[in-house]
Amino acid sequence: MSQQKAKLLIFDSGVGGLSVYQEIQEILPHNDYIYLFDNAAYPYGELKRTTLINRVERLVTEFVEQHNIDLVVIACNTASTIVLPMLRARLSIPVVGVVPAIKPASNLANKAIGLIATPATITRQYTRELINDFSQSKPVEMIGSTRLVDMAEEKLRGADIDLKELEHILGPMKNNIDVAVLGCTHFPLIKNEIQSVLGSEVLLIDSGVAIARRVESLLTPTAGAGEQGQREIYSTAPPWKEKALNVALTSFKFDKVRHHPFEI
């Protein structure tokens, strides 16, 4: 890549990828960012494997071409755990994925690891292999929940999280683990609430900072340091509670959501 600023595409099914975008743009503010979320097919954690692969392949490859993207971040564990090989074969630019941080968690856990992710992510072969290869024989307890994903979407639009409901979902692993992996990019958006339910003794880990460093290592330093790059955000369907969402997006330095209709 030349000494010009890069144009990055950050992709997810909803607002979760914003947690990854935040970490990346904090250390690389001068690049241009386009955030694309496929809310027409949300939640990804409930989609059939082949539907998800075909959708992401077409949507992302077409978008990369239309917008002259230099690097893609699939800021979604549910997609990354199955689409990365196909996307890397189709695209000639770097494709960075986000997968559950089992490896760092295993170095920090003394008792057991809790993996909190979508229903799809906890059943993936990729996740099973991560656990087999890196959990160093520490027990891994898993909870797959779409309700938690919805809660993050609601919180970003200004709703309060029902801590009793959260406690009900996370209760089964609460006293058994000392490290919890936030294996869905939506969950850092409700990290404080998850922490308050699991207790301060449980360490929460996500992949955001590691992904930001990986992206940094793939780009050349920008010549135009000092100026913030452009920010655009697109959705594949009209977003739910669009007005409230647009208000929240200003704190992520985005203007209003633009529409990029996509149906397969």
The residues annotated as belonging to the active site are: 76, 184
Is residue 45 within the footprint of ligand DGL (CB under 6 A)?
yes
Q: How far is the CB of 229 from ligand DGL (least distance, A)?
A: 24
Is the Cβ of residue 94 or residue 188 nearer to ligand DGL in the bound state?
188
Is residue 12 within the footprint of ligand DGL (CB under 6 A)?
yes
| C-beta separation of 35 from 18 below 8 A | yes
Task: Tell me the two tokens of residue 262.
Answer: 């996509």
Is residue 188 within the footprint of ligand DGL (CB under 6 A)?
no
Is residue 43 within the footprint of ligand DGL (CB under 6 A)?
yes
Nearest Cα neighbor of 217 from 103, 71, 74, 86 is: 71
Count of residues that interact with ligand DGL, criterion CB under 6 A: 18
Neighbours of 22 (CB within 10 A): 17
Q: How far is the CB of 146 from ligand DGL (least distance, A)?
A: 6
| C-beta separation of 94 from 218 below 8 A | yes
* Cα of 238 vs its chain's centroid, Å: 20
Q: How far is the CB of 79 from ligand DGL (least distance, A)?
A: 7
Is residue 185 within the footprint of ligand DGL (CB under 6 A)?
yes
Give the residue carrying structure tokens 């996740």: 127
Q: Which of 7, 14, 179, 180 binds ligand DGL (CB under 6 A)?
A: 14
112-171 positions binding ligand DGL, by CB under 6 A: 118, 121, 146, 149
Is residue 7 within the footprint of ligand DGL (CB under 6 A)?
no
Residues ≥6 apart with Cβ < 8 Å to 143: 114, 115, 116, 117, 122, 169, 170, 172, 173
Q: How far apart are CA 170 and CA 174, in angstroms?
A: 6
Is residue 42 within the footprint of ligand DGL (CB under 6 A)?
yes
Q: Which residues bind ligand DGL (CB under 6 A)?
A: 12-14, 16, 42-45, 76-78, 118, 121, 146, 149, 184-186
